[in-house]
Chains A and B, each alone.
Chain A
Amino acid sequence: MTEKKMKRGFKESRFAVFWNRLKRNRNAMIGLYVFLLLVMLIIIVPIVSPYDYAKYDIMSISQKPSLKHPFGTDDLGRDLLTRCFYGGRYSLSISLAAVLFSTSVGTVIGAITGFFGGKIDAVIMRMLDVIQAIPSTLLTIIISAALGVGIDKTIIAISVGSIPGTVRLLRGSVMRTREEQYLEAAEAIGCSTTRRIWKYVVPNSWSPLIVSSTMGVARTILQLAALSYIGLGVQPPTPEWGAMLSGARGYLRDYPHMLIFPGLFIAISVLCLNMFGDGLRDALDPKLKD
């Protein structure tokens, strides 16, 4: 067996152990499959639906749920089922992009501050203290107000609040990895500092981030919805779930279906991600289970 194959075999077996543990967790699997089903529907439904997500229909304004419109229609006669699924494209991709952004920024800062320690570490940690002294919802609201509306700006606004958490998590993990012998070995054979950080320290330190990012997507979906609801973030007529709720807030008394369905979509997607995230955590850290 060549060295490369052996290395891969080792990695696969470690992943297999983890995957087997995850597969046995019924809740995690339900969460995963329902979420994947939801994603598939979000892709397919707007394509096959006979209604357009943006086209007004004056003849069918504010209809209650019926066979023709299973979720009813909104105040401009648009089919809510189509809009809910179409809106998922915005809600989920914006949340995912925000988590990717905050995780990558957090990883870079966390790796640097954890690896070098000393003055850099002290300065960065004090800066994080300041950011964390503001509740993250509040920070998100202010940044969003300062940047203005738009999808790209919303992504930045909702990711900033979660960067400090990522940095702290990775920093702690990096500080433990830094003491490992293979890093001494890497230094001894003359690896550059950059190479040591990106090739050895980060890959061996980022596993705590898996769970936190999965949960992070769930948390971000909630934050995005809240931000759009209060009139910042994504604006109607874009069918993002929070923006749909914001647009329908005046109809709670007369047409509650306009507010019930988008909210259910948020709750179901967040619930699935949380169930999967719980399973991931148990599979990665089995000492908490049984």
Chain B
Amino acid sequence: MGRFVLKRILQMIPVLLMVAVLIFTILYFVPGDPAQIMLGSTATKYELQQMREQLGLTRPFLVQLGDFLYQTFIKFDLGKSYLTGAPVGAEIAARLPRTLILGVASMVLAFGIGIPLGITAAIHQNGWGDRISMIIALLGVSIPTFWLALMFVLLFALKLRWFPSSGIGGFKYYVLPTVSLCFGGLATQARQSRSSMLEVIRADYVVTARAKGLSEREVIMRHALPNALNPIITLAGNNLAVIFGGSIVIENVFSFPGIGQYMITAINQRDYPIVRGCVVMLAIVFAVIMLLVDIAYAFNDPRIKARYENSGRKTKVKKA
């Protein structure tokens, strides 16, 4: 297992580097002049040119790219905001925990409720519980996340006054963003878990297990579930991306001071060092979470485990 984890971490590094290159390249071609943004419309041509040189914007593309990669990955410096001059790294460090809490809480809810819901629905296929939960799940994947959030604000914050509608503070401030963010992921997860389970439940080995007289509980827990879990984990990876992306929009609905809101504000102000820093940071966080999903997958799939244990043994044999 250690070898598998190590291999996946090593694979992650070039991908992240390429992500940083891709992001830098996309944002390099953005219209608008940073010097103009910093100095305002009253600046003279000479001042603008001086500022561009000071920022290093007159250097060739590849030199700028190299400098960006060096600063980001070797010196861990994400640069400074064009507008305020505040270091981006510190600002992100202050906001990242909130975004993480929001994202992780939503994931826990989405998987913790969605997977068992889908599995029970599949076991009682066509029963009333199955029907009701699948109708709710269908609604869940069809309602726009941010609109659901707005409706939650309308009902629970403005009408009932149970929770605050925006900002940050204690536990209460996280409830509405988390619930509205998890809903879509929960619904998707329930639908996918149900179809994975349905596929497995009809397999020959499940029929065999029933035929040899195992109790229904044992058939499900020992034979069906472990096999259904692999596709469920794979699809959970896709859902993570959706929840993660959704959090950017949700943060804006609730004026929630996390990375997503910081980034969108920066995009509207054309403050690109912030945008670059946020995207690279989000990509790293996302990569780490995907790595954890992959490890969970490997733990549940004896084929992957066996491959790495065998190859380990082989090298030992060679050495001996």
Binding site for B on A (CB under 8 A): 129-138, 141-143, 145-146, 148, 218, 222, 225-226, 229-232, 242, 245, 249, 252-253, 256, 259-260, 263, 266-267, 270-271, 274-275, 278, 287-288
Contacts and interface: CB of A to CB of B under 8 A. Distances in A.
A231 B287 contact: no
A245 B147 contact: yes
Contacts of B18: 130, 133
B146 interface: yes
Contact of A218 (B31, B142, B249): B142
A131 B15 CA distance: 9
A287 B203 CA distance: 11
Interface in B138-154: 138-139, 141-147, 150-151, 153-154
B30 A230 contact: no
Nearest to B26: A146
A130 B22 contact: yes
Contacts of A145: 27, 30, 267, 275
A111 B268 CA distance: 39
Given A138-B244, A267-B147, 7 more contacts: A142-B27, A145-B275, A222-B145, A230-B249, A231-B268, A274-B138, A288-B198
Contacts of B147: 225, 245, 259, 263, 266-267
A136 B241 contact: yes
Contacts of B214: none
A252 B241 contact: no
A135 B139 contact: no
B105 interface: no
B65 interface: no
Nearest to A273: B142
Contacts of A136: 241-242, 245
B36 interface: no
A263 B248 contact: no
B57 interface: no
A252 B245 contact: no
A259 B150 contact: yes
Interface in B274-296: 275, 279, 282-283, 286-287, 290
B23 interface: yes
Interface of B: 15-16, 18-19, 22-23, 26-27, 29-31, 138-139, 141-147, 150-151, 153-154, 158, 195, 198-199, 202, 241-242, 244-246, 248-249, 252, 263-264, 267-268, 275, 279, 282-283, 286-287, 290
Contacts of B282: 134-135, 138
Contacts of B139: 267, 271
A135 B249 contact: no
B275 A137 contact: no
A253 B279 CA distance: 33
Nearest to B150: A259
Contacts of B248: 137-138, 141, 230
Contacts of B268: 231
Nearest to A272: B142
Contacts of A275: 138
A263 B150 contact: yes
A213 B158 CA distance: 39
Contacts of B142: 218, 267, 270-271, 274
Contacts of B286: 133-135
A229 B249 contact: yes
Given A231-B264, A275-B138, A148 B242 contact: no
A230 B144 contact: no
Given A135-B244, A226-B144, A263 B151 contact: yes
A146 B150 contact: no
A267 B264 contact: no
B287 A133 contact: yes
A59 to B, nearest CB: 27
B248 to A, nearest CB: 6
B144 A133 contact: no
Nearest to A165: B238
A142 B146 contact: no
Nearest to A262: B147
Of all A-B residue pairs in the complex, the 6 with the closest CB atoms, nearest first, are A137-B245, A263-B147, A271-B142, A135-B245, A135-B241, A130-B18
